[in-house]
Amino acid sequence: RHEMRLGMHEVVTKLHRCDKPVIAMINGAAVAGGLTLALACDFRIAADTAKLGDTSGRFGLLPDEGGAWFFPRAMGLDRAMKMTMLSEVYAADEALRLGLVTEVVTATNLSSRTMDLARALAAKAPLAVRLAKSMMRHGMDSSLEHSLNDAALSVMIANPSEDVREGVSAFFQKRPPQFKGR
């Protein structure tokens, strides 16, 4: 169990810290550690048949794989405590309402919708996407003043980039931009 926990901690940390957008495609149950894995991702696309929640309490366990950190951030402290303490599992539509998933689609459209989102993200300016993700992730744990300083530094990196020049040129030329991540 100890080795497995360390492995899970590493996976959750790597997913959360990845500098590129990470999409979870949920088809089935994402409960307890599975929900934590999904919440470590930036976007969660769920099939309308998916179930999400925290069942750790059914076994006398705790949300020790990062759930106690992720759950309140996704759905608010009171709802997270209720879900965990009562071992609640929600249908996909309710999970969407609670903030556990980004989008719900039919099971037959799950893969194509997830890939559409991945392609749309890949078409954006890579530097801007990475910096925006970093700014928002850091902003969740910092003051407004720190977030504003972080934004100022990020703008100093992004604004002189080739991608910004390409984006402006493409706009005026009425064509899709061809970003290179520089």
SS (H, E, C) the chain: CHHHHHHHHHHHHHHHHCCCCCEEEECCEEECHHHHHHHCCCEEEEECCCEEECCHHHHCCCCCCCHHHHHHHHHCHHHHHHHHHCCCEEEHHHHHHHCCCCEEECHHHHHHHHHHHHHHHHCCCHHHHHHHHHHHHHHCCCCHHHHHHHHHHHHHHHCCCHHHHHHHHHHHCCCCCCCCCC
Position 52 scores a pLDDT of 98
Structure confidence by residue, pLDDT tens digits, 123-171: 999 999 999 999 999 998 899 999 999 899 999 999 999 999 999 999 9
Q: Which has more confidence, 4 or 63?
A: 63
